[in-house]
Amino acid sequence: MTERTKGTTATLAGQVREQFSWLPRVLVVAAVLVLAWGWWALAFLASTRSSLTGSTEVWPPHLPVLLTQFSLAVFGPVGASIVVMVVLRRAGLALLSVLLGYGVALWFTLRGAPGLVAADPTERKIMLVTVGLAAILGLALGVIATRGPQRLGFIGVLALAPVTGLLVTLLHLGDAGTWLGRVLVAALLVLIAWRRWTGVLLWPLFVLWFWLVEVAQQTLRYGAETLRHPGGHRVNLQLVLEAMTDFLRNAWEVLASNAWSFLWPAILLAAVVLAWRRAWPGVMDRAAKLPLPARKPATGNGEPAPEGD
C-alpha cells in the first residue's frame, strides 16, 4: 500500500467516524435500556412465570412483596446485578441500568400491577427495601468479579440460578435446564483455572462455596415460609430462627449430596476443556514439524518430459 493510499484510507475512516460519532452513544443507551429489563427478568421473571397459571399476564414488571418470597428478594437481585455489571463493565452504567429496572418495577408495584397479591404495607416496605439493598450488594460483588477470571468464577455462583432460570423460562427447556446449569458451572470452573492450571486446586473451595450458597438459599426460603404458618400472626423472629436452625440441622447432608450429584459432571467437563487447552498447542507444534509429502512435478508446464529408453 502506497503512502497516498494510506492517507486516503485514513481520511475516509476519519470521515466515517465523524459522520457516525453518535452510534457508540446510541449503542450504550440501548444496552442500558435492554439490561434494565434484563435485570428484572433475571431476578424475577422465572419465579413470576412459575407462580402464574393460565393466561395471566406477566407484564408489567413488579417486585416481590410477600415475606414468603424473602429468599427470592435477596438472591435474585444479587445475581441479576452481578450479570449487569459483568456485561457492561462500567460501574456507572451498571448502576444506571439497575436503578432504571428497579425504578420501573417499583412504580408498577406501588400502583398495583395486575395479578399482584395484596400485602401488608409494612411487609411490602420491608420487601421493597430488601430488593433495593440486594441489588446494590450485587453491583458491588460485580465490580469485584470484573477484576479477574478467578473472582468471576467464584462470584458467578450467585448468578447461576437467575441466569439458568431465565434461559429455561424463555427457551422452555424443562429438564434440560439441569444440564444447562452444569455447563454454566463448568464455565465458571474453567475461568478459575484458565490462566494457571494450579487454579484446579481451588476447585474444592468452589464446591464448598456452591454448597454454602445452596444451603443459604434453601434455609432462608424455609424460614420465610414459616411466616405463612396458619398461626402466622403469632410467629416471631425467634421461632423463625429456630425453624431455620432445625432445617439446617436436618437437611445439610441431603443438600450436600444433591450439590455433589449436580456438580461432578460439570467438574468432569471443565477438566476435559482444560486438558484440551493445554494439549492443543503441543499437538499443533508436532503437526507443524511433520514432513510434508513430496510433490510430483507436473508435466506440460514447460518442463522437459522424461525420455523413454
Task: List pLDDT tens digits, range 25-50.
Answer: 788 888 889 999 999 999 998 877 65
Mean pLDDT of the chain: 80
Task: List pLDDT tens digits, range 92-130.
Answer: 999 999 999 999 999 988 887 555 555 678 888 889 999
List the grid coordinates of 102. Answer: 428497579
Q: How confident is the model at residue 16 (pLDDT cuts 50, 70, 90)?
A: very low
**pTM for this entry:** 0.80
Residue 185 pLDDT: 94
CA pair distance 141, 176, nearest whole angstrom: 29
Report DSSP letters for 108-155, one per residue: HHHH--TTPPP--HHHHHHHHHHHHHHHHHHHHHHHHHTT-HHHHHHH
Residue 285 pLDDT: 62
| Radius of gyration for the chain, computed over Cα atoms and rounded to the nearest angstrom | 28
- Which stretch, 134-138, 258-262, 276-280, has highest mean pLDDT? 134-138
Residue 206 pLDDT: 95
The CA–CA distances, whole Å, from 307 to 101, 302, 304 equal 84, 15, 8
Are 62 and 118 within 8 A, CB to CB? no
- Which stretch, 19-33, 141-155, 211-225, has highest mean pLDDT? 141-155
